[in-house]
Structure formats: structure tokens, C-alpha cells
Amino acid sequence: MGGEFGRRRNIRVELKNVRVAYSGSRKPAIENVTLSLDSGFVVITGPNGAGKTTLLETMLGLLKPYKGEAYLFGVNTKSRKVFEVRKLCSYVPQDFMKPPFESYTALDVIKLGFASLKWDKNAEERVKKVASDLGIRNLLNTPFGKLSGGQQQKVILCRALARNPEALFLDEPFSSLDKESRRVLCSLLKEYAVGRLVVAVCHDVEAVKSFADRIIRMEGGRVI
């Protein structure tokens, strides 16, 4: 199904008057958000608690709006069909579970990203190429648990990019990277975003604003 949905539908993400609240909380985490994203490098920024991660997870359908509608590649995120279109997406969360996977190599962890796709020679070649671009080619056979936080984040990034997604969602991808690695990654994402969608949550917008095609500023759960 590759880029079938992506080619057919230019709008990859669409939110209409979306309101999302966490269980047990009366106050919505995001409120009255309306936006549509097609392609380019989009940065979501704002202070802590502004609702940046909530917005990102709502775009992916990991959080469901209790008011308004959210669409991913034209599919309502409340529909079960969303699992199909998510195959066109990749996600890099800020934190991820890893125990008891310390003994898995970096390559094993990357392979897990192909659970809903096909793991073949092409995928293997793509992994090698992206791993070289990110400077972790020599770490592919290292146990994941023995890597530093920054290296682990690069492995998850490699997993995301090697899936060759139509839409890439990243939550604070630069948080544990040094200045040079951040610059390299920004250029890579900017290049990747041509004809595709890359959405990154970023607390420190100054570091990435020269690369961004669009900046979404959030405060108190609203887009400002």
C-alpha cells in the first residue's frame, strides 16, 4: 500500500475543533484546535504543559478527541481503519519502554519497527543507509541496553526513518543530542520533509527555527 493513501490525499493530518482531556481531568489538555498539515517540516513549540505532546499524539490517533474530529490520511482516528494508515507513519516518542529488552541488539529493536510492514532486503538496506547517516552504523549489533540515552534515541530515529514513512512524528527528538548532532538531524529531517510531512515537538524553537517550514505555537492547550 506504500504511498497509496499519501498520493491520493494531500492532507495528511486534519484536526477540526478538537478537544482532548486525560482521564480523571476536567480541564482539557488541548482545546478548539483546528489545523491541517500536508507536507513540510512542522515544529510544535510552547512552554511545559502547553499540550504539545497531546497534540502530536492526537494527530496519530493515540489520544482520541472527546469533541471535534481528527483525521490521519483522511481516516477518522476513532475508526479501526486508522491502524492501516498508521503503517504510513513513524513515531519517535520522548521516552520509550525498554526493559526487559536490554539484550536485544540495536538492529533487533529497529526490526521491531517493521512488525506491521515487510522486513526484506530493501528494508535492511534502508536501515544500513539511515544508520550511516545518523552515525550509528557501527552500533547496530550492540545490545540496546548498553547504549547511551542519545545513542538509543538515534536507534529509535533510525527505526522511524527506515520505515520510509509518509508522515513522521517526533516528540522532542533533539533533547539528548549535542549541538552538532542536532544540526545534522535538522538537515536530515528538512531534506526528508520534501513531499512528505515531518512534525516535531520542540521545547527550544531557536535551535530549529531556521529549518522549519511552519511553526505551531501552543499555550494553555490552544494554538496561538
What's the CA gap between 98 and 101, in Å, rounded? 5
Contact flag: residue 99 with another protein (CB under 8 A): yes
What's the CA gap between 44 and 199, in Å, rounded? 7
Contact flag: residue 9 with another protein (CB under 8 A): no
In the list 89, 139, 162, 197, the residue contacting another protein (rule: CB under 8 A) is 89
With cell 526487559, the residue in question is 100
Contact flag: residue 104 with another protein (CB under 8 A): yes
Provide CB contacts within 8 A for 148, sequence distance 6+: none
Element (H, E) at 217: strand 214-219
Q: For residue 105, which phi and psi values (nearest 5 degrees)?
A: -75, 165
In the list 115, 141, 179, 206, the residue contacting another protein (rule: CB under 8 A) is 115
Query: What residues between 28 and 87 interact with another protein by CB under 8 A?
Result: 57, 60, 62, 83-87
How far are the Cα atoms of 43, 71, 76, 83, 163 from residue 14, in angstroms, in the given order?
16, 5, 9, 17, 22
In the list 47, 112, 214, 219, the residue contacting another protein (rule: CB under 8 A) is 112
Contact flag: residue 91 with another protein (CB under 8 A): yes
What's the CA gap between 168 and 19, in Å, rounded? 23
Number of residues that bind another protein (CB under 8 A): 37
In the list 10, 17, 79, 103, the residue contacting another protein (rule: CB under 8 A) is 103
Q: What is the DSSP letter of 142?
A: S
Peptide bond into 100 cis (omega under 30): yes
Q: Of 45 and 152, which CB lies nearer to another protein in the complex structure?
A: 152
Q: Of 89 and 201, which CB lies nearer to another protein in the complex structure?
A: 89
Contact flag: residue 18 with another protein (CB under 8 A): no
Please count the residues of the chain.
Answer: 224
In the list 19, 40, 74, 119, the residue contacting another protein (rule: CB under 8 A) is 119
Supply the minimum distance, in Å, between the C-beta of residue 179 and another protein. Answer: 27
What are the residues binding another protein (CB under 8 A)?
A: 22-24, 57, 60, 62, 83-87, 89-91, 93, 96-104, 109, 111-117, 119, 145, 156, 163, 169
